[in-house]
Every structure is written in structure tokens, then in C-alpha cells.
Structure 1
Amino acid sequence: MDIQNRISEIYEEIVDIRRDFHKNPELSQQEFRTQKKIEEYLNLWGIENFRCAETGVVGIIRGRQAGTTVGLRGDIDALPINEKSNASYCSINPGAMHACGHDAHTSILLGVGKIMKEVADSDESFFGNVKLFFQPAEETIGGGKRMVEEGCMINPDVDYMLGLHVMPYIDAGKVELKYGKLNASTDTIKIKINGKSAHGAYPDKGTDAIVIAGNIITSLQTIVSRNISPLNSVVISLGKITGGVKDNVISDEVEMSGTLRALDDDTRNFVKKRIEDMVTNTAAAYGGTAYVNFSEGYQALINNDEVVDVIKENAEKILGRENIVFKEFPSLGAEDFSYFSDVAKGAFFHLGCGDSKNGIDSPIHTECFDIDEKCLKIGIQLQVENILTLLNK
């Protein structure tokens, strides 16, 4: 079959699907209509599927003979934002909006599934399998982890993983690639400081937890500036602090919380140890005690060079070398595609969805975000070619 021509033929159908998802956004762990619509399309096209992670869906396209298995992930949840748009497909659900492009990701993945099913049915030499992961709750609890824990990467076992994210700062028709480190790991930091209460007029009778907190805050800033190489990016941000009961009472308790971002596990673990040491020892130096608790978030996303090479070669073939942008620095933002790529060789890339000349350039996570819909066709073309290349490996 002429794959490129077939993608052009289904393009309008995919646009309609995207607009329907955009008009009916659902927040994380509430993607029930979205799940049902995905299942309807997969069933219509004869694609085997089952539910996963409560509101997610896994589709499987099986080749006629065993071989490589390639997985693709598309996230499906929306954000708690009120959309500001005059488009006919503007959100009809107050307080919910596809402001991160997950409607586009879902539609691209459906388009890829439709094309790959037709390829598998028409080609007797089609070896291997394609697995489609429609992932819920990317914006909150990390639905990727739940899907992997529930076995989405096995039976058949996934050998390669592909993922993408639309980006409005890149015009449609371009892609952004990155070898190696792409996104940071995330950990929530919670610090509890205990002192001793006293009257504010007699501070020597107490142990001031607020003073201890101030010194801990100052000390933690030196980890990045003095314990980590300037060439290695780390973020320690404390965003919340509470303590004290009255303006003339020495505080006996302070709680602080924040986030730690790192780009590899060695750095991540080293910084955690330094935070623990500084918090404990600083509190002790001022006569108090303090404890640190870390809640582990997403893993660092590190692209596999072999898979990036495949994406690069196909992007050059489809879009031209001049339309490939290489991301210079990794992002300290999080991306739970890392749970999939920790299990199989994987790569994640950015698909241009902007149109700067016509004002389609609002950042993701904003109330005016939209896409140049021709990115849907490009995304399907790239992912189909990437799958075929990896299956042939």
C-alpha cells in the first residue's frame, strides 16, 4: 500500500477526531469518555485492545510472525484550565482544557494505529508487533508508572518505545531532537524542624525553629553552587514554609516543602544525601532537630541514541534536514514517558505544532493554546516510518 497517500486520505478524519477530543476534555483519572471513544475507534478498525490503569487503553497489532515489538505512547488527560477560544471545537467542559496537546497526541496515536493495522493486514511479510499505549493521568500521578506496573510492556515484550510531544515554539513541519538527557527526575522534599517554644521576650529560654529554618534554606542553596559541577544541572526549590502560632511566641515547629530536579540517578542520590546531612546538622547546631522525607516522582528521561538515530533519519527523509532542530540543553521539567523508556530502548521527541505567522504560538498550559493541525499528519508520518524502521531491525 502507498502509506503516504493513505495517511493523506485519513487526515481529515484524524482532524475531526482531534477536535472532538479537544471539545470534550477530561481531567486526570476522569478520562472515561475519552477511554470509550478510543475503544470505539480501535474496535472499528479491528485493533485488539484492553483497559489498563483504570482509564487507559492498550492496543495491540500483531504481525503474522514473531519479531520485534515497538510501543508508542500518547497521553490522554486534560488540564484544569478554562479555555479562551473562539474555535468551533473550544472546550465545552468548564474548568477543563486540552492545554498541553494531549488531544493531538491521542489522535496521532490513533492515526498510527489505523495505518499500521492496514499495513499488517495487507502485508504477509509483516513481522513483529505494535503496541499502542493511551496513557491517563500524565499531568498528575504519572499514569505511565501505573501502566508499566500493570504489565503493559509484556506479552508481547516491548523492545523499542517511541513518544512525542507537540510544542508551539516550533512551527509545524519541524521537529526537535535530543540525544541523551532530555527531562529531569522529580522528588518532593518535605522538611520538619523541631525546636522549643518560649515567650518572644525571652528567646534564650527556647529554641527557635524559624531561625533554624532560615539557616537551612540558606545552606541548601550551596549544594547547587558548591557541591555540583557547573556543567551539571540541578534544581532545589523550596516553595512552601509554615510555622509559628503567634507573633510574640518563639516557634517550636516549622515545616517546609519543595522540589528536587536532577538529570541522572547518581546526582539525584548525592543531592538527597547532602540535603539530609545539611538539614540534620544545621538543626543540631542551633539546638533543635530536623527530619527530611523524599517522595519520589518521575524518573529522568534519557533518550537512547540508537532510537534517536532512527527518528533523525526518518525526519530528514520526510521533512528535510533543514527542518530538524537539536535541543541544546535538557529540560528540568518532568515527563513520565521515562517509565516506559526505563524498560525498553526509547526516545522522545518534540513535534512542531506552531504557526508563528498566524499567531498559533501560545505556550502549553495556557488558556489560549492551540495547534496548527497539519502537525497531526506529520506526526503520523514520522511515527509510522519509525515503527517500520525499528521492526526491520
Structure 2
Amino acid sequence: MDVNSMVAGYHDLLVQIRRDLHRIPEVGYTEEKTSAYVAAYLEKEGLLVTTGIARYGVVGLLKSGRPGPTLLIRADMDALPIQEETGHDFASTHSGVMHACGHDAHMAMALVTATVMNKIKDRFCGNIKFVFQPAEEGPGGAAPMIQAGVLENPGVDYALACHIWPTIPEGSIGVRSGAMMAAMFRFDITIKGKGGHGAMPHQCVDALEVGCQVVGALQRIVSRHMDPLNPSVVTVGQFRAGRAFNVIPETATLSGTARTFDRTVWKSWPNRIETVVKGVCESMGAGYDITFEQGYPPTINDGNMSKIVAKAAANLVGPDRVLEPPPSMGGEDMAFFLEKVPGCFFCVGAGNSAFAGIHNPRFDFNEQVMKNGVATFCQAALDLLTQA
């Protein structure tokens, strides 16, 4: 029986799992109910299950019983602090929390992949590690799981993960070699001026005005210091200053993010940003404090693994439905796994004008697309783990 035929019979199970998990969303590092559900399912399937990794991480090990490589299939478990507005009868039962980024679907696809591959384990060699990771939305559970040893015993040779992707059409699979998602970086700045009466600016150091100059100067890092053929973004998303219309504020606080696909640029952000902030503040007589948080590295797909996934997908959905999505400036902590082993982070097309996009209180998708993710996982696993 071919993979599409095998997976077709699991549609109802996929939907049930997705909806079960959709009802109990939990933000990063609180995934107690979610991890218990995942562990119970994997144990029922007879996999060797380990729980409590990086707090709530779960690993299910499927052994074929024959020597061979080990493939890691990863799904993220956490939800977002968003109040759901879909009106579904399976909507979130946790106030203010929602699976608005498809992680419920990612878990459902990985769990059903475990079921399918368990039933046909006589058709491949080696092992499959199903890794369910907490806190992808932040602060990041991939690195702690790696530190806890999920890439060992047995050692992982390949890694796969997928994401529901509303920007490519339903029924398609998106595969991109090389840079897929950007490296993330956060900065927080406090401008220290001298407050006073709004009618007497000459007696003050206006922290609000200094902050405005800092925002403008930060934009020129990208426009005048970066190679225009190497995309980068600096965004100031928060700016707070002042409490009264006629008072010059003494302090201003700014927070923002910087994104790039280049690891060297990613590492250079602290020096670049502080040089700008220091120069502006000194020229205007202000002081400053600045802190940096280096987020996820760039998500880089291995070229050979991307070819394997694209070929597997083409056999399932047709070559005309295997697309190359543009790289995204969003961040993804699957990047940490891809730094360690060759792998591919692919997209399950869910584009449909009837549904809102990710990180939206009305986010949704056609549940039929999940079977494409499961089939791609299964076919790629067979191609990787079947000895010639």
C-alpha cells in the first residue's frame, strides 16, 4: 500500500487529536496537560517514552529492530496568549490562551506519523525519535532539550519538522533549501535625560526627543551599513515616554528586534546597536542603559535533506504542488536542531482566504491539509531509513 492510501484512513484521528489539543492550549513551559496527552498517546502506541525533558518535553522512540540511522521528527507544543474568537465548539477552554500558530496541528501530524510508521516498521531500518518540544514561541525549548541529550542514545542523524503555512496554497508543500527563517535578536534601551517644564526645554535633556533620534538612527543601520543583497530588519516596536502634556520626560524606554539570515550579522547586532545608541545619547547630553537578548539562530535547511523532502512531497501531492516559499523574517527554534544535524523544516500549505493568518484570534485552517504533512513525514522517513 502506498503512503497516501495509508494516511487517508487516519483523517478522522488527525482531526480528533488536533481538536483535543486545541481545547487545552498552554503557553511556553506550562504545557502540563498537553505533554500528558502526548505521552499517553505514544505509550498506547508502544513507543519508548521519556517525559519531563526541559520541563515538559516528551520523546517517543520508535525502534524498527534493525540497525540503521535515526531520524528525529519534531513538533512544538506551546500556544499563544491570545483570546480565541473562532466560535468553534472545540475552542480553547483556557481563557486568554489559544493555539493560534498551528502547533496543535503539528502535534497531531507527528502523533499520527508515529502511528503509521509503527504499523510499517518492518519496511525501514533504524529508529525514529518523535520529539515534542515546549516553548517554541518563547523563550525556546529546543536548546534545553538538546542540552538534556535528545540528540543522543541513539544519536540522531537527520531531523524533520513542518509548519502550517497560510501564505502558500492549500494542498501544497513548501520546501526551501538554505535559509528558511531569520535569526532573532531583542534589545531594550532606557534613555536617561533631565526632566522639566515643557515651556523651558533649554533647562532639560528631553529623553523623548533623544529616543526619537535613536529610532531614526537605528533604521540607518540597515539602509546604510548592511549589504542590500543580504536582508536585515531593525524594528522598534515599543516606545514609552512622558506622563503629562506639559512635562519634558526624564526617561524613555524603547524595545525592538533585529532580524537577519546571516550568522555573522546576527552576532554583530550588540556592537552595532550600542554604537548608535551611545553616539546619539552622547551628542545630546543623555545617558542610557541597554540590554540584549540573542534569540534563535537562522533556520537553515540542509540542501540534500531538502531535495529528499521535495521528492517525497512530489510523489504525494504532485510536482506542481511542491513550491519554494520565500524566506521569512520570522524566527523558529527548530534552528537549534538544524545546527546540529542535517534536516529540513518544510511548510504544509494552508492558504485559504476564508481563514485568518497565524497569531490571530480567528486563526484557522482546513483540517484536510494535515494529511499532506503526515504523508510527507512518512514518505521522507521511508526514503531516509530504507536500505538500498
TM-score (norm 1): 0.90
1-side partners of 2:86 and 2:99: how far apart? 12
**Structure 2 unaligned regions, length at least 5:** none
Mean Cα displacement is larger for which, 193-202 or 149-158? 193-202
Residues 8 and 294 of structure 1: is their aligned pair in 2 closer, same or farther, counting only changes over 3 Å?
Answer: same
- The Cα of 1:235 is off from its aligned counterpart by 1.3
Corresponding residue number in structure 2 for 1:98? 99
Superposed, which structure 2 residues align to 1:355-374 within 5 Å? 355=352, 359=354, 361-374=355-368
**Aligned-pair distance for 1:47?**
0.5
C-alpha spacing 1:197/1:77, structure 2 compared with 1 (3 Å) = closer
Give 1:332 shift: 1.0
Q: 1:391 to 1:238 in 2, by over 3 A?
A: same
Deviations 1:187-220 (A, max 9, x none): 1111222334555555444443333323222211
User: Mean Cα displacement is larger for which, 316-325 or 93-102?
Assistant: 93-102
Q: Which residue of 1 aligns with 2:155?
A: 157
Residue 354 of structure 1: CA displacement?
4.3
Aligned length: 386
The answer to whether 1:351 aligns with 2:348 is yes
1:294 equivalent in alignment to 2:288: no
Q: Pairwise mapping of residues 152-231 of structure 1 onto structure 2 (< 5 A)?
A: 152-197=150-195, 203-231=201-229
Rounded Cα–Cα distance in structure 1 between residues aligned with 2:8 and 2:29: 33
Please say if residues 223 and 271 of structure 1, whose CA atoms lie closer than 8 Å, have aligned partners that are also in contact: no
For 1:29-48, what aligned pairs fall within 5 Å after superposition? Answer: 29-48=29-48
Instruction: Supply the AA of the counterpart residue of 2:367.
Output: E
From the superposition, tell whether residues 8 and 214 of structure 1 become closer, same or farther in structure 2 (CA, over 3 Å).
closer
How far apart are the structure 2 equivalents of 1:150 and 1:168?
33
Query: Structure 2: which amino acid aligns with 1:149?
Result: Q
Question: Which position in structure 1 is the counterpart of 2:382?
Answer: 388
Is the CA contact 2:173–2:372 (under 8 Å) kept in the aligned structure 1? Answer: no
| 3-state DSSP of counterpart to 2:79 | coil
What one-letter code is carried by the residue in structure 1 that aligns with 2:288? A
Give 1:367 shift.
2.7
Q: Which amino acid aligns with 2:385?
A: L
Q: How does 1:305-320 map to 2 (within 5 A)?
A: 305-320=303-318
- Separation (CA, whole Å) in 2 of partners of 1:303 and 1:254: 40
Mapped partners of 2:352, 2:197: distance in 1: 62
Once the two structures are overlaid, the 10-residue window that deviates more, 4-13 or 259-268, is: 4-13
Equivalent residue number for residue 12 of structure 1: 12
What is the 5 A alignment of 1:4-83? 4-51=4-51, 52-83=53-84
The residue aligned with 2:369 is 375
How many Å separate the matches in 1 of 2:230 and 2:303?
20
Q: Deviations over 1:63-94 (max 9, x none)?
A: 32332111111112222333334544333333
1:244: Cα distance to partner?
A: 4.7
- Superposition deviation, residue 355 in structure 1: 4.8
* 1:138 aligns to 2:136 (yes or no): yes
Query: Partner amino acid for 1:366?
Result: N
- C-alpha separation between the residues in 1 aligned to 2:284 and 2:39? 60
Corresponding residue of 2:251: 253
Distance 1:237 1:174, change over 3 A: same
Where 2:127 maps in the other structure, the secondary structure is strand
Quote how far apart the aligned CAs of 1:105 are: 0.7
In structure 1, stretches of 5+ residues that fail to align are none
Cα 1:366–1:211 shift into 2, 3 Å: closer
Whether the aligned pair in 1 keeps the contact of 2:140 and 2:333 (CA below 8 Å) is yes
1:331 aligns with 328
**CA contact under 8 A between 1:279 and 1:291: conserved in structure 2?**
no
Instruction: Report SS of the residue matched to 1:167.
Output: strand
For residue 243 of structure 1, report the CA deviation from its aligned partner. Answer: 3.7
CA deviation digits over 1:10-37, x for unaligned, max 9?
3322222222222333333222222111
RMSD: 2.3
Change (3 A) 1:255 1:45: same
- Contact 1:276/1:291 (8 A) holds in 2: no
**Shift in Å, 1:5:** 3.5
Within-5 A mapping of 1:120-139: 120=121, 122-123=122-123, 126-139=124-137
The separation in 2 between residues aligned to 1:86 and 1:193, in whole angstroms, is 44
Q: Secondary structure at the match of 2:25?
A: coil
